[in-house]
Amino acid sequence: MSHTWDPDRYLTYADERGRPFVELLARVGADRPATVVDLGCGPGNLTTLLADRWAGAHVVGLDASPEMIAKARELGGDVRFHVSDLRDWARSGPTDRGEVDVLVSNATLQWIPGHLDLLPALVGRLAPGGWLAFQVPGNFDEPSHTLRDELAAEAPYAEHTSGVAVPSSHDPAVYLDALARLGCTVDAWETTYLHLLTGPDPVFTWVSGTGARPTLQALPDDLRPAFEAEFKRRLAAAYPRHEYGVVLPFRRIFVVAQVRS
């Protein structure tokens, strides 16, 4: 079941969504890479940080969403943005000696079913000594996800939401093992952020731009308002408002791997 992305809704909490990218990038030890690729670049606001860090590199942002790429192209600058499915891109390159020096993927692989099987192809796109760095959410047992799943499985929504895309990921040790077996030196870790959100229904605003979006889009227009209202009610109970705002705990998984020179 297809869905589209809303760049403006996604950018509502741009600072909170961008922090893991910055902390991931800090662990990449590349000095003067010639080619840097951002897989799943979204609206491109973070891809520009790659161009800032490696000013002499050819930086490319790829995303399967035409809406996201259109937003990214509004940024201008030297970064090139293209519509492309990362699975097709990964498997279209060489398998022995790649040409990419730094390959970054931020909060994207969780949308690829069986993405562990894609790691050999991604590593295969890297030049000797190249770097693969990615982060994925690891919070899928939190109410922000479980409440959506529970509500979507109820009548009258279930017949419309069955089979929608849902994200998933693995623990850091799983990624470490998979990439070490491919001959990489691997640094893997996890961090739980405590995002302090403000505004009306802030957790709903957050998830409706990412993990819940396919479910919401799968619903017909006459059912979506009731679903959203009940989802907001359940989220508000799970994430109470304090005088300082609403706290959203968010676990993320980080992996940085370097291939042999």
C-alpha–C-alpha distance, residues 225 and 219, integer Å: 9
C-alpha–C-alpha distance, residues 135 and 216, integer Å: 25
* Residue 126 Rama label (left phi>0; alpha psi -120 to 50; beta): beta
Residue 232 resides in a domain = yes
pLDDT recorded at residue 95 = 44
Which residues of the chain are under the pLDDT cut of 50?
Answer: 1, 10-11, 95-96
pLDDT single digits (tens) 58-84: 999 999 999 989 999 999 888 999 999
One-letter identity of residue 126? L
pLDDT recorded at residue 200 = 93
Containing domain of residue 50, as a range?
7-258
Residue among 193, 205, 225, 192 nearest 144 (CA): 205
The answer to whether 197 and 206 have CB atoms below 8 angstroms apart is yes
pLDDT recorded at residue 94 = 53
pLDDT recorded at residue 13 = 59
**Whole-angstrom distance between the N-terminal and C-terminal Cα of the chain?**
42
Specify the 3-state DSSP secondary structure of 250.
Answer: strand
pLDDT recorded at residue 9 = 55
Residue among 165, 164, 174, 171 nearest 141 (CA): 171
Specify the 3-state DSSP secondary structure of 151.
Answer: helix
Question: Whole-prediction pTM value?
Answer: 0.91
CATH code for position 144: 3.40.50.150
Tally of domains in the chain: 1
pLDDT recorded at residue 240 = 97
Residue 1 resides in a domain = no
pLDDT recorded at residue 7 = 53
pLDDT recorded at residue 137 = 96
Residue 21 resides in a domain = yes
pLDDT recorded at residue 1 = 43
| Residue that the structure tokens 């706290």 belong to | 247
Residue among 51, 56, 171, 62 nearest 106 (CA): 62
One-letter identity of residue 140? F
Residue 2 resides in a domain = no
Residue 120 resides in a domain = yes
